[in-house]
Each structure stands twice: as structure tokens, then as C-alpha cells.
């Protein structure tokens, strides 16, 4: 038994040890330190990379954005911070923090300048994707930081670092923050900065964990009082940096769980033959979560609604408020419901033309998150391909119809801008937009 345990231990050590092909500590430290400071070539490379990434975001080109991330030297000061914390090098911590702040400010200023002078000011899907961090961004940043520092500590350098630069995506959020400043949208700026902060902290944390796992020698001082002071400063910096990120990561996880549970609840508990959910909105808040539903068809009575609400606890939605809106006479919902009924009537017809229409309908992407970001005042929307039958001639066409319900009035210019964005986003040949207030 003892021999089996020893054999298993040897196998694990042989396969998973990070010490076998590790480079010399001094070589690793020097490799990280030289990439911490932003001046000269590093600074100009950063500026050019920011311009490239901004153009990629502006024209919605994933390939250009990836190219910019490969060029970007932003990971240097973040890994310097993680190394400094891991080996008690307060000077390296200060240098890393100072250069990260400088790089961040210059990056945002550069992207702001680009988006201020560019004639294209529409928020592309690549930009919108950087305004709302998800739990996956947290996982990617943490795992990317671990992979990155492991690659740096090897004797033989591999292609891991470029891959980490692409995966963790530090640069696009900074460019999106600049876009937010350029167009005066605080939501874009804060959302993108939030994503950048989460990525930076968890890359730094991954670096720290590997540094401690590999037991790199900590910096010692002749003056023990000064050494104690340095350790205290590093602890304070670590707590100030990591504590908010852990809380923010928890909020991201909690929100993702809430939305998944809410979707499962709707899918399983609100399936009726003569009543359909045509609009759903999830509100995640410290004051209490809400599920807001708009139903079309036969109205549910109070007894049925109460029985549905009683099932919330089965989906871990005990404290969630369920709002059900129904009835064609509801304020601001009459026309939308009537139009939706017409669309559904066309969709469920049994002719061959309708089969093609239904196929096209399934190709329309879910735009809720993007529209919520672009138009915070938007209450609900629907988009469908509908069949239009001409009465003067024996002809029928399929068109894309979009209906948007806003809390407040929007200008004709904004309405046309929304129509063009929707047409481009879903790649429709023609699109008609109806706006309700």
C-alpha cells in the first residue's frame, strides 16, 4: 500500500511539478522587471496598440482587436505587482502600480482622442461586449494570470504569453472606456473600467499564487523594523485591491445565477397552450431582484398567478418579485400586443412560405443586452419576420418588423439611428420600426 502511494505521489510530482524546467529566479525577476516600466519603445507600442484596438472596435473587426492585444505590453506592470507582493518587494509594487496607472491613463486618453475625431460613433457589438462583465471574464482573467506567470518562469519561452494577452483582453475595455468619454456615456465608461479592473486584479492574483507556490525567495531587509513596515504596506495594498474585486466578482456570480434561475423558472412554469410570454426583463438589485413579464393570450386568474409565484422558491428565487403584465387594455401595451398577435398568427400558419418565415425568425439574435446598454430608457422590444400580403396584386412579401416601447419620447433622429442599427445588426434586407412611448 505504501509503495502504491509513493508511486502515485511520484507520478503526480513528475507530471505536475513546476520546478523541473523553471528558469533561474534572478532571470525571472529581471524578465518581469524590464516589462514593468512604460517609457520609450514600450510606451509608443502601447499607444499604437490602443489606436489599432480602437479602430478594431470602431469597425467591429475581431481580427484587428486580436492583433492589437498581441502587440499590447499591458501585462508587464500587472505581473510586476503580483511578483512584488509575492516576494515582499515594496519598491517593485510601487513601480508596478505607478506604471499601471500611467499606462491606464495614457490608454484611455489615446482611445478618447481617436473616438473623438472618428466619424463613426455607433456602439458596435464588440464595444457593447466590454460594458457588462460576466462571471466568465473573472474566470478567464484568473486562469490567464496563472498561465501567464507559469510561461514567464520557464527556461524555454512558448506562445502562452500572446495567448494570455488575447484571452484576458486588457486593452479593449480601456478603449471602450475612452469611447464612453468621447460620446459622453458614463455607463460605457464605468462598465468598461469595471471589466479592466477585474481583469487586472485577477491576473495579479494569479501571478502572486504561482510566485508563492514556487517558493521564490522573499526580499529581506537588514532593518527589521523597516521590513515589518514594508510587509504592512503590502498587506494594506493587497486588501484594498483584492477585497473590492472579490465582492464585485461575487456580485457577477450572483447575478449570473439569478438570471439562469429566472430563465429556467419561465421556461418550466410559464408554458401554456393559450398564453405566451412575449417579453421578459430581469432586474438585479441590492434592494431586491425582479422578474417582469408581459403575457399575450388568455389572461391568468389570481389563483393561477399565486400558484406560479409559490414555485419561485423551487428555483432559489425566494426574495424575487414577480411582476406579470397581461391584458390588451394595459397602458402602453395595446399596440405592441396586437402587433405581436399578428406576427404570431403569421408565424404559425401552415403554408410553405410561413415555414421559411419561421426559419428566418429563428435566425434573429437576442439583442436584449445590447439594446439595454444602448437605450437604457427602452422598456421592451420585439423583432420578427412577418408575411405581408398585397391586396391589389396576388403577391406576398416577407419583411422584418421591429417594435420598441420607450419610457420617454425619443427624437426622429434617434429613431432612425435605432432602425439603421437594427437593420445592420440582424443583417435584414429591409426593416420597419414602430416606436411606442
Length of the chain counted residue by residue:
437
Helix (H) or strand (E) holding 180: helix 171-183
Give the count of alpha carbons within 13 A of 335, CB side only.
11
pLDDT higher than threshold 50 for residue 246: yes
- CA gap 321, 243 in Å, rounded: 30
**Angle ∠(167,173,175) on CA atoms, nearest 5:** 120
pLDDT tier at 160 (50, 70, 90 boundaries)? low
The answer to whether the beta carbons of residues 35 and 76 sit under 8 Å apart is yes
Mean pLDDT across the chain, nearest whole number? Answer: 80
Write out the DSSP string of 344-394.
HHHHT--SHHHHHHHHHHHTS---HHHHHHH-TTEEEEEEEEEEEE-SSSS
Angle at 381 between CA 375 and CA 387, to 5 degrees: 135
Domain residue limits, the chain: 2-219, 269-436
pLDDT tens per residue across span 167-203: 667 888 999 999 999 998 888 898 888 888 888 888 8
Structure confidence by residue, pLDDT tens digits, 65-120? 888 887 778 888 888 888 888 888 888 888 998 999 999 999 999 999 999 998 87
Q: DSSP for 218-285? A: PP--S-HHHHHHHHHHHHHHHHHHHHHHHHHHHHHHHHHHHHHHHHHHHHHHS--SSEEEEEEEEE--
pLDDT digits (tens, 9 = 90+) for 305-329: 899 999 999 999 988 999 888 864 3
CA 19 to mean position of chain CA atoms: 35
The pLDDT value given to residue 110: 94
What is the signed CA dihedral for 395, 401, 403, 404, rounded to 10 degrees?
A: -150
Which residues are bridge partners to 277 per DSSP? 295
C-alpha to C-alpha distance for 303 and 128, rounded to whole angstroms: 41
| Residue 336 φ then ψ, to 5° | -65, -45
Q: 184 CB contacts (<8 Å, ≥6 apart)?
A: none
Cα dihedral 240, 241, 244, 249, rounded to 10, equals -160
- pLDDT tier at 262 (50, 70, 90 boundaries)? very high
Question: Where is 402: in which H helix or E strand?
Answer: strand 396-406
Q: What's the pLDDT band for 335 if we cut at 50, 70, 90?
A: very low
Q: Alpha-carbon Rg of the chain, whole angstroms? A: 27
Per DSSP bridges, beta strands 275-283 and 321-325 are unpaired
Please tell me which residue, 79 or 234, carries the higher pLDDT value: 79
Name residue, grid cell 425566494.
318
CA dist., res. 317 & res. 241, Å (int): 32
Average pLDDT over every residue of 300-308: 89
For residue 354, pLDDT over 50 is answered with no
436 CB neighbour count, 10 Å cutoff: 16
Distances from the Cα of 291 to the Cα of 72, 78, 324, angstroms: 41, 39, 8
Q: Residue 146 has what pLDDT?
A: 83
Q: Which residue has the higher pLDDT, 385 or 355?
A: 385
Q: Are 122 and 247 in contact (CB under 8 A)?
A: no
Q: What is the pLDDT of residues 29-51, one digit of tens each?
A: 888 888 888 888 888 988 998 99
Amino acid at each position: 500500500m505504501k509503495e502504491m502511494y509513493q508511486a502515485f505521489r511520484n507520478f503526480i510530482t513528475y507530471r505536475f511539478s513546476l520546478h523541473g524546467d523553471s528558469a533561474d529566479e534572478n532571470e525571472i525577476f529581471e524578465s518581469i522587471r524590464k516589462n514593468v516600466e512604460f517609457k520609450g519603445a514600450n510606451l509608443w507600442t502601447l499607444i499604437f496598440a490602443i489606436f489599432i484596438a480602437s479602430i478594431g472596435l470602431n469597425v467591429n473587426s475581431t481580427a484587428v482587436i486580436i492583433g492589437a492585444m498581441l502587440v499590447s505590453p499591458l501585462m508587464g506592470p500587472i505581473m510586476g505587482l503580483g511578483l512584488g507582493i509575492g516576494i515582499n518587494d515594496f519598491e517593485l509594487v510601487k513601480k508596478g502600480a505607478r506604471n499601471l496607472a500611467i499606462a491606464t491613463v495614457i490608454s484611455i486618453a489615446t482611445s478618447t482622442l481617436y473616438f473623438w475625431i472618428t466619424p463613426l460613433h455607433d456602439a458596435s457589438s464588440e464595444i457593447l461586449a466590454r460594458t457588462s462583465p460576466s462571471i466568465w471574464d473573472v474566470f478567464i482573467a484568473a486562469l490567464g494570470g496563472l498561465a501567464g506567470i507559469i510561461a514567464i518562469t520557464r527556461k524555454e519561452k512558448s506562445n502562452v504569453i500572446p495567448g494570455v494577452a488575447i484571452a484576458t483582453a486588457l486593452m479593449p475595455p480601456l478603449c471602450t472606456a475612452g469611447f464612453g468619454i468621447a460620446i459622453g456615456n458614463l455607463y460605457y465608461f464605468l462598465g468598461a473600467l469595471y471589466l479592466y479592473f477585474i481583469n487586472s486584479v485577477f491576473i495579479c492574483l494569479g501571478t502572486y499564487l504561482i510566485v508563492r507556490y514556487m517558493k521564490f525567495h522573499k526580499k529581506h531587509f537588514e532593518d527589521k523594523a523597516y521590513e515589518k513596515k514594508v510587509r504592512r504596506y503590502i498587506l494594506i495594498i493587497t486588501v484594498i485591491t483584492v477585497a473590492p474585486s472579490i465582492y464585485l466578482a461575487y456580485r457577477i456570480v450572483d447575478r449570473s445565477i439569478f438570471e439562469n434561475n429566472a430563465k429556467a423558472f419561465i421556461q418550466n412554469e410559464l408554458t401554456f397552450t393559450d398564453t405566451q410570454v412575449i417579453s421578459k426583463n430581469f432586474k438585479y438589485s441590492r434592494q431586491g431582484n425582479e422578474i417582469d413579464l408581459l403575457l399575450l393570450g388568455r389572461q391568468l386568474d389570481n389563483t393561477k398567478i399565486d400558484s406560479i409565484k409559490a414555485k419561485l422558491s423551487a428555483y432559489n428565487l425566494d426574495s424575487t418579485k414577480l411582476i406579470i403584465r397581461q391584458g390588451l387594455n394595459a397602458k402602453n401595451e395595446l399596440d405592441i400586443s396586437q402587433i405581436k398577435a399578428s406576427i404570431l398568427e403569421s408565424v404559425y400558419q401552415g403554408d410553405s412560405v410561413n415555414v421559411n418565415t419561421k426559419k428566418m425568425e429563428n435566425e434573429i439574435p437576442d439583442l436584449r443586452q445590447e439594446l439595454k446598454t444602448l437605450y437604457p430608457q427602452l422598456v421592451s422590444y420585439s423583432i420578427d419576420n412577418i408575411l405581408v400580403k398585397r391586396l391589389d396584386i396576388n403577391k406576398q412579401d416577407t419583411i422584418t418588423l421591429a417594435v420598441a416601447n420607450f419610457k420617454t419620447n425619443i427624437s426622429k433622429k434617434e429613431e432612425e439611428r435605432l432602425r439603421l442599427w437594427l437593420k445592420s445588426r440582424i443583417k435584414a434586407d429591409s426593416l420597419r420600426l414602430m416606436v411606442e412611448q
